[in-house]
Amino acid sequence: MTNEPTASDGASIETLADPESLRDGTVPVEEVDRVVPAAQFEGLREHYDSVAGVVQVGITDEDGRVLLQGSPEDGDWAPPGGPVEPGTDWVAAAEQTMESQTGVDVEIREVRLLERLRFSPEDGEETVSSWGVTFGAAVEDEQFLRDPEIVDHPYLPPEHEQTFAWFDAVPEDANDNHVEHIKLFVE
């Protein structure tokens, strides 16, 4: 069972040292501005000041479904992903993030979207910004494709309710910030 992307799916990529270099290519680029509650802003600033950015990974199966992470009870479905440490290759970071969460080999094949993320508090002019890159990927492990499971996630407590599930459309209870990311893989 393979999930070969077509040429129109995105820009093929093997390494990525600087996401800004994608601005000159065929990858869609979006400027994303989010206003957050003042109480959350400081935590966001600390997080984004400590990383080069974030990656999300869309893994699709041969039926055209996308793998999402969320809670069966609470929803909040989104493509899985994680932070990119400063100085780390973005493709390698995406593969390492996904392999640690899934326990199987994940092959990053393409870039679907580059985002310049800017966050500001409701009560101020201050902003923090970072890069976000959404990748398309493939998994060959038959067992994982049949029954995906989170094996390790560095940002979830040991007794978490998060799970992986396959979706052929954007779920009604998707995380609002990630609806457009999901659409990159199911529409």
pLDDT, tens digit, 9 for 90 and up, residues 57-110: 999 998 999 999 888 888 899 999 999 999 999 999 999 999 888 888 999 999
Helix (H) or strand (E) holding 182: helix 179-186
CATH class of 11-186: alpha beta
Q: Distance between CA 107 and CA 98 in Å, rounded?
A: 9
pLDDT, tens digit, 9 for 90 and up, residues 154-185: 555 456 566 889 999 999 999 999 999 999 99
